[in-house]
Amino acid sequence: MIRTTHIVLALTAALTADPLVASRPAAALEYRDIAGKWCGEATDYTFTRDSLRVYWRSDRTSRTYRVTDYSYDNDEITVYWRKDGEEFHTVFGNFRDDRMVQKPSEAGPRRPFRRC
Protein backbone atom coordinates (compact mmCIF):
# COMPACT_ATOMS: atom_id res chain seq x y z
CA MET A 1 0.00 0.00 0.00
CA ILE A 2 2.78 2.46 0.90
CA ARG A 3 4.68 1.70 -2.32
CA THR A 4 1.53 2.16 -4.39
CA THR A 5 0.91 5.52 -2.70
CA HIS A 6 4.46 6.68 -3.45
CA ILE A 7 4.16 5.65 -7.09
CA VAL A 8 0.82 7.45 -7.45
CA LEU A 9 2.23 10.59 -5.81
CA ALA A 10 5.32 10.51 -8.05
CA LEU A 11 3.24 10.08 -11.20
CA THR A 12 0.85 12.83 -10.15
CA ALA A 13 3.75 15.20 -9.50
CA ALA A 14 5.34 14.36 -12.85
CA LEU A 15 2.10 14.83 -14.77
CA THR A 16 1.16 18.10 -13.10
CA ALA A 17 4.64 19.65 -13.17
CA ASP A 18 5.14 22.73 -15.31
CA PRO A 19 6.28 21.40 -18.72
CA LEU A 20 8.23 24.59 -19.39
CA VAL A 21 10.55 24.21 -16.41
CA ALA A 22 13.01 22.08 -18.34
CA SER A 23 13.01 24.40 -21.35
CA ARG A 24 13.43 27.70 -19.49
CA PRO A 25 16.74 29.44 -20.17
CA ALA A 26 19.37 29.77 -17.48
CA ALA A 27 19.37 32.95 -15.43
CA ALA A 28 18.98 36.11 -17.49
CA LEU A 29 22.12 37.81 -18.67
CA GLU A 30 23.34 40.88 -16.80
CA TYR A 31 26.31 43.24 -16.71
CA ARG A 32 28.56 40.81 -14.84
CA ASP A 33 28.29 38.39 -17.78
CA ILE A 34 30.15 40.78 -20.08
CA ALA A 35 32.24 42.82 -17.61
CA GLY A 36 36.00 42.46 -17.75
CA LYS A 37 38.53 41.41 -20.36
CA TRP A 38 37.78 39.23 -23.40
CA CYS A 39 40.40 37.95 -25.85
CA GLY A 40 39.76 37.35 -29.54
CA GLU A 41 41.88 36.48 -32.54
CA ALA A 42 42.24 40.04 -33.85
CA THR A 43 41.14 42.19 -30.91
CA ASP A 44 40.74 42.13 -27.15
CA TYR A 45 37.85 43.93 -25.45
CA THR A 46 37.65 45.23 -21.90
CA PHE A 47 34.19 46.25 -20.68
CA THR A 48 33.51 48.52 -17.71
CA ARG A 49 30.20 50.10 -16.81
CA ASP A 50 30.99 53.20 -18.85
CA SER A 51 33.73 52.23 -21.32
CA LEU A 52 34.82 49.73 -23.94
CA ARG A 53 38.55 49.42 -24.54
CA VAL A 54 39.50 47.79 -27.84
CA TYR A 55 43.04 46.51 -28.29
CA TRP A 56 44.14 45.57 -31.81
CA ARG A 57 46.66 42.73 -31.78
CA SER A 58 48.01 43.47 -35.29
CA ASP A 59 49.52 46.87 -34.45
CA ARG A 60 49.32 46.80 -30.64
CA THR A 61 47.19 49.91 -30.43
CA SER A 62 44.09 50.54 -28.37
CA ARG A 63 41.22 52.95 -28.16
CA THR A 64 38.64 53.49 -25.44
CA TYR A 65 35.02 54.24 -26.33
CA ARG A 66 32.33 55.61 -24.03
CA VAL A 67 29.58 53.08 -23.31
CA THR A 68 26.19 54.79 -23.03
CA ASP A 69 24.07 51.73 -22.23
CA TYR A 70 23.80 47.96 -22.05
CA SER A 71 20.59 46.14 -22.90
CA TYR A 72 19.86 42.53 -22.06
CA ASP A 73 17.52 40.47 -24.19
CA ASN A 74 17.24 36.71 -23.70
CA ASP A 75 20.69 35.36 -24.57
CA GLU A 76 22.18 38.56 -26.02
CA ILE A 77 23.74 41.72 -24.65
CA THR A 78 23.74 44.86 -26.78
CA VAL A 79 26.43 47.42 -25.98
CA TYR A 80 25.71 51.01 -27.03
CA TRP A 81 28.87 53.08 -27.46
CA ARG A 82 30.05 56.37 -28.92
CA LYS A 83 32.79 57.05 -31.44
CA ASP A 84 33.57 60.58 -32.58
CA GLY A 85 30.21 61.83 -31.29
CA GLU A 86 28.20 59.17 -33.12
CA GLU A 87 26.32 56.32 -31.39
CA PHE A 88 26.90 52.69 -32.39
CA HIS A 89 25.89 49.34 -30.97
CA THR A 90 27.35 45.85 -30.97
CA VAL A 91 25.48 42.65 -30.09
CA PHE A 92 27.11 39.80 -28.18
CA GLY A 93 25.63 36.37 -27.58
CA ASN A 94 26.30 32.67 -27.10
CA PHE A 95 27.55 33.21 -23.55
CA ARG A 96 28.80 29.77 -22.49
CA ASP A 97 31.73 28.56 -20.37
CA ASP A 98 33.61 31.90 -20.36
CA ARG A 99 33.07 32.33 -24.09
CA MET A 100 30.94 34.72 -26.12
CA VAL A 101 30.46 35.71 -29.74
CA GLN A 102 30.25 39.15 -31.31
CA LYS A 103 27.31 38.86 -33.70
CA PRO A 104 27.92 39.77 -37.34
CA SER A 105 26.87 43.28 -38.31
CA GLU A 106 27.67 46.11 -40.71
CA ALA A 107 30.78 46.73 -38.60
CA GLY A 108 32.22 43.28 -39.18
CA PRO A 109 31.92 39.51 -39.18
CA ARG A 110 31.14 37.09 -36.35
CA ARG A 111 33.99 37.14 -33.84
CA PRO A 112 34.47 34.60 -31.03
CA PHE A 113 35.95 35.68 -27.68
CA ARG A 114 37.03 33.97 -24.49
CA ARG A 115 37.61 35.44 -21.03
CA CYS A 116 41.23 36.22 -20.37
What string of DSSP letters covers 59-86? TTEEEEEEEEEEEEETTEEEEEEEETTE
**pLDDT of 22:** 37
Using the predicted structure, report yes or no on whether residue 46 has a pLDDT greater than 70: yes
Q: Dump pLDDT digits (tens) for 69-101.
A: 999 998 999 999 999 999 999 999 999 999 999
Q: What is the largest CA-CA distance in the chain?
A: 77
The fold for domain 28-115 equals Lipocalin (2.40.128)
Q: 0.85 exceeded by the pTM?
A: no
